[in-house]
Structure 1
Amino acid sequence: MSSISSKITRRTVLASAAAAGTVGLFAGKTAVSAGDNEAIRPFQFKAPDEQLTDLHNRLLATRLPEKETVDDFSQGVPLKTIKQVLQHWQTNYDWRKVEARINSYPNFITEIDGLDIHFIHARSKHEDAMPIIITHGWPGSVVEQLKIIEPLTDPTAHGGDASDAFHVVIPSMPGFGFSGKPEATGWGPERIASAWITLMRRLGYERFAAQGGDWGGIVTNQIAVQAPPELLGIHTNFPETVPPEIDQAAFAGRPTPAGLSDEEKAAYEQLAFFYKHVYYAFEMGTRPQTLVALADSPMGLATFMLDHDARSLEMISRSFDGKAEGLTPDDVLDNVTLFWLTNTGVSAARLYWENKIAFFSPKGVKVPVALSVFPDELYATPRTWAEAAYPNLIHYNKVAKGGHFAAWEQPKLFTDEVRTGLRSLRKDS
C-alpha cells in the first residue's frame, strides 16, 4: 500500500497560513524559487466588491424575451425559469458563501506547458490514501466536485473505511475558472491529459488514479490512452463506448439499427435524441468567438449554460420551482457566477473548437476501468458496449439515480461508486 501513499517531492510547496489553514497537510518544504516556472504557488480568490456590484447592476438591467410559444422545453429554457433564475440571483444569492468554501480547501497554481493551471489539492489524513485526479466538464468548474472532497479524503467521517481514502486533486481546465486562458491553439483533450500527468508527477505521486465526467471523462480517457506508468486505472461516468457505426447512425438521425438488444436500443435512442439537441456544442465548436453575450450579459451566460441537455435542464427548472432534487438554485448559480467573475464563457467554449476526437467512440483504452452508469446521463452505456470498449473493465454498475453532473447532483452515490470501483486497484499497488 505504501506505493500509493503520498510521496511529496522537493517541488511540493508547504502551504502557508495564507493558504486557508493548509499548514501541516504536506510533508515537503518549498525548494523551488519564486522564479521557477515549475513552482507551486498557494492561491486564494476574492472577487472585488465592485465586480459584484457590476454584476448586480447588469442583472437589474436585464432585458428578457417574450414567453415561448410552446408549453414544453422544445424552444429552450422557458421564460418562467429564466425569471426565477434572475430573481434568485438578484435577491437570494450570496457569492461569498461558495467563495469561502472554495478557499477553505488548499488551492494552488502552477505553470505547465506555458500555461497557469489552478487546482485544489486536498490530502487525506489517512496514510495509505490513493491519489486521484478528478476533472470537471462543461458547463462546469471545480464547483462540481466540492461536495465530494470531504467524503473522499475523510471516509471515516462519511460512512466509509480508512482504506477507502483518497488524496484528491481537482484542476480547473485551461480556459476555465482560475486557470490560464490559452493565447494560442492546441489545448485539446490530449494536451490537457498530458498536463494532468505532469501535474500528478510534480506533486510527487508515484501511483494515481483518474476520474472524470463530461469533458472530464474525455480527458480521463485520454490519460488512459497515454497510459503513463504511474496510472493505476480510471473511473468514469462519461464513457467512450459507442461502436463507431452506431455513433454515426445516431448522429445522422437514422432509424434504430437492427440486431441491437433492448438495452442497446434504449442507449441508441438516448444518443440520437441528444444529437438532435446539441446545437450549443456546434456553435462553440465552430464559432466560439461569436458568443460575446457570454462575456457581456450574466443572464445570457446563465441561460446558455443551463441548456446543456434535456434532463439536466428539466431537473434545474424543477429546483427553481422549489422541488428539492439534485442541484439547488444556489448550486447552479455558484457555477454560473464563477464563470461570470472569471469571464471564462468564451475561453471555455473554445475547448469544443479545439477538440478533434469523437465524444463517444472507443479509443483503445487498455488500463483498468471502473464505470458507473447514471440513468439520466446522455446515454446509459450497455454492459456489452462497455466490455468491448474497455477490455480491462473492473467495475460496471447502473446507479439508481443521477444525471450528467453526477458528482454535483448525487455526491453520496458518486462517492460510493468511486470507492467501490477503484477498490481492487489498491491491493495490487
Structure 2
Amino acid sequence: MKPFKIDVPDAVLADLQDRLDRSRLAADFGNDDWRYGFNGDYLRELVDHWRTDYDWRAHEKAMNAFPHFRTEIDGVPIHFIHVKGKGPNPTPLILTHGWPWTFWDYRELIGPLSDPAAYGGDPADAFDIVIPSLPGYGFSSPLDKTGINFWRTADLWVKLMEGLGYPRFASHGEDWGAFITAQLGHKYADRLIGVHLTTMFPLDMFAGGEVEPLHGEGEESWAQKNADFFTHESGYFQIQATKPQTLAYAMQDSPVGLCAWLVEKRRTWGHTRGEIESRFSKDDMLTTVMLYWVTDSFGTSARYYYEAVHNLWAPSHDRRPVVEAPTGIAVFLEELVLQPRRWAERYYNLKQWTIYSEGGHFAAFEEPATVVEDIRRFFRSLPR
C-alpha cells in the first residue's frame, strides 16, 4: 500500500478546456420540466461555469488534505482514503459508494465519524475511516480485468481491511455500496461488527429475486414508488448492463455528454424537489464529473452493471436471515426504492430501523449529519 497524491497533469486539464470551448450541444425544446432528460439551458449554464469559473486545483487540494493510498489486490487497482479515529477505541469502518457516485461523496462524514469530539460528539464513537473507490471507478483504475462486480468487490474489501490490520470491521454502504455491504454481512458475518445500509435490495436481484409484497402500515405507496422507478428511471441500467462499452466511447470523448449523463441523476435521484442546486452546487456536480473524466473511468464504472447481470450472485449459505451480521437500516423516504420492514426483518439480522423524511438516493451527501448520527447510534449498541 503506497501513499497517493491526486495530481492531474496540466495537459489533461488543457485538453478538457479545449473540448469544453468547442462543445456542441443538441437543440432542446419543450423540456422545461426535464421530461426528455437534461434541460439544455441549464446544461449550458453548467458548462459555462465549468469553462470559466470552476477550479479543479482547488478541489484537488481539498481532496489531498486527507491521506490517500493505492494498492493492488488480486490484480485489481484500489484507491482509498484512510483516516485514523481520535478516541479511546476507534471502530474500523469502511464506507462504500455507488454509481454515479465517487469516494468524495462521503467527505462530510469523515471528520464527524473519525473525530467526534471536534464536532460536539463523544470520543467513544470514533471510527477509523476507510473509503475506497469501487474497482474501475476514479483512481481505482485503470481496470483491465473482467468479472469484477459487487460480490467480488466484497472479497476485495475483506482483503483490504485485513491488510490495514482490521480482521473485524464495520461497513456502511449506499447504492452499489449497499449491495457490497449486504454481501459482507452475508458471506463474512463472522468478521463484521455490523452492517449499515440506506438502500435495500435482495442480493439475488439480478437473477430475478424479488421482494415479497409485505408492505405494512404507512408503506402502502412504496410498491408503486418502486414500480415508477423501474418504469421511468431504469433506462441507464439497461444500457450499462448490456452495452456499456458502446456508451463508453461517447462518454469518454465528450465531457459535456458525460456531465449530462451523470448530473441528471443528481436532480432526479436526490431529494431536490426539481431544484438541483438545493442539494448540489455547480462545483459539487462538476467535481463528480471530473473524477470520472480525469481518470477515464466511465467505461469501467458502467461495466460494473454488466458484470453484476452476467456474473450472477450465488449464496454462501442457505440460512436465514440471508444477511446474518447485525444490520442497521436508515430509510430515507425519497430513496429510489423502498422495501417493507417485514421483508427486511426476514432478510437481515435487523437491529435498527429508522425512517427519515428528508434525503434521497445520495443520503450521505444530502443529509450527512443524519447519516453520521444513525451510524453512531447503531454501532454504539454493538459489541466490538
Tell me whether the two structures share a fold, i.e. TM-score over 0.5: yes
SS at match of 1:399: strand
Alignment of 1:148-163 (within 5 A): 148-163=109-124
Partner of 1:353: 306
Amino acid at match of 2:123: A
Q: What residue is the counterpart of 1:193 in the other structure?
A: 154
**Aligned-partner Cα distance in 2 for 1:259–1:209:** 29
Q: Deviations over 1:381-424 (max 9, x none)?
A: 3322221221x211110123111011111111111111112211
Map 1:264-303; keep pairs closer than 5 Å. 264-276=219-231, 277-291=233-247, 292-303=249-260
Cα deviation, residue 142, structure 1: 0.9
Indicate yes or no: 2:53 matched with 1:95. Answer: no
Q: 2:86, 2:114 within 8 Å by CA — same for their partners in 1?
A: yes
Distance 1:201 1:311, change over 3 A: same
- Summarize the Cα distance change of 1:285–1:422 in structure 2 as closer, same or farther, 3 Å threshold: same
TM superposition shift of 1:44 = 0.5
Alignment equivalent of 1:208, drawn from 169, 172, 181: 169
Query: Relative to structure 1, is the Cα distance of residues 248 and 267 closer, same or farther in structure 2, using a 3 angstrom cutoff?
Result: farther
The answer as to whether partners of 2:271 and 2:334 remain within 8 angstroms in 1 is no
Instruction: Give the equivalent residue in structure 2 for 1:3.
Output: none
Structure 1 counterpart of 2:288, one-letter code: N
- CA distances 1:65-95 after superposition (whole Å, capped 9, x unpaired): 1123344222111112212211221122111
Q: Is the 8 A contact 1:187 1:351 kept in 2?
A: yes
Alignment of 1:387 with 2:348, yes or no, is no
Shift of 1:248: 7.5
Alpha-carbon deviation of 1:184? 2.9
**1-side partners of 2:179 and 2:149: how far apart?**
10
If the length of structure 2 is used for normalisation, what is the TM-score?
0.91
1:67-125 CA-to-partner distances (Å, cap 9, x unmatched) read 23344222111112212211221122111122112111111111101122111001112
Q: Shift in Å at residue 266 of structure 1?
A: 1.4
Q: Which has the higher strand share?
A: 2
Partner of 2:327 in structure 1? 369
Shift, 1:241, TM fit: 5.5
Q: Which runs of 5+ in 2 are unaligned?
A: 314-319
Pairwise CA distance, 1:313: 6.3
In the aligned structure 2, how far is the partner of 1:301 from the partner of 1:264? 36
Q: Unpaired runs of 5+ in structure 1? A: 1-39, 251-256
Residue identity in the other structure for 1:409: E
Q: 1-side partners of 2:61 and 2:44: how far apart?
A: 27
Matched position secondary structure for 2:360:
coil
Q: Give 1:419's aligned residue.
A: 376
Q: Find the aligned partners of 1:155 and 1:48 in 2 and give their Cα distance.
A: 36
In structure 1, the residue matched to 2:356 is 399
Check whether the contact 1:263–1:382 (CA below 8 A) recurs between aligned residues: no
2:359 maps to amino acid: G
Cα offsets for 1:228-250 (capped at 9, x unmatched):
53211100111226998xx8789
Corresponding residue for residue 316 of structure 2 = none
Q: Shift of the alpha carbon at 1:206?
A: 2.9
SS in 1 for 2:71: strand
Q: Secondary structure at the residue paired with 1:69?
A: coil
Which SS does the other structure have where 1:117 is aligned? Answer: strand
Q: Does 1:121 align with 2:82?
A: yes
Taking structure 1 as reference, are residues 105 and 227 closer, same or farther at Cα in structure 2, changes over 3 Å only?
Answer: same
**1:228-283, Cα deviation, whole Å (9 max, x unpaired):** 53211100111226998xx8789xxxxxx988545343111111111012101110
Q: Which residue of 2 aligns with 1:315?
A: 272
| 8 Å CA contact retained: 1:242, 1:385 | no
Shift of the 258–96 alpha-carbon distance from structure 1 to 2, 3 Å rule, reads: closer
Kindly report which structure 2 residues correspond to 1:155-174, keeping only aligned pairs within 5 A, or say none.
Answer: 155-174=116-135
Paired residue type of 1:286: T
Change (3 A) 1:249 1:70: farther
Q: What whole-Å deviation, never above 9, does each CA across 1:341-364 have from its counterpart, x for those lacking one? A: 001111110000000358xxx981
2:95 maps to 1:134 = yes
